[in-house]
Amino acid sequence: MRVYIPDPLRSYTQEHSDVEAEGATLAEVLADLDRRYPGICFRMIDEQDGIRRHMRIFVNDEQVATLDVPLAKSDEVLIFLALSGG
């Protein structure tokens, strides 16, 4: 399935804005991404296997909050970094 990568993480994907990954759940897709692009998951997933607070992940334009979301091969995963500041 197609995974869209935000600009700050593209150094892991050789500057590609979208990449392919496989898996039946979001956790499996992210694990596959980490196998293909070592270190990328550390930037998205915390030590408790949750999505980091500054990350937003969408599956087919719907924001997800957990990694156990089932996925189909035709799904699209979009990864965003939340902006903060003041």
Domain around 16: 2-81
Within-domain flag for 64: yes
Question: One-letter amino acid identity for 20?
Answer: E
- Say what the pLDDT of residue 26 is: 97
Within-domain flag for 68: yes
Work out the average pLDDT over 61-83: 94
pTM of the model: 0.90
Work out the burial of residue 86: count CB atoms within 10 Å of its CB; fewer than 13 is exposed, 13-18 middle, 19 or more buried.
Answer: exposed
Contact yes or no for 63/57 (Cβ under 8 A): yes
Cα 62 to Cα 42, 57, 75, 79, 84: the distances in Å are 23, 8, 11, 11, 21
Within-domain flag for 86: no
Q: What is the CATH number of the domain that holds 33?
A: 3.10.20.30
Domain count, the chain: 1
pLDDT of 85 over the 90 cut: no
Within-domain flag for 31: yes
How far apart are alpha carbons 75 and 62 in whole angstroms?
Answer: 11
Within-domain flag for 56: yes
Within-domain flag for 49: yes
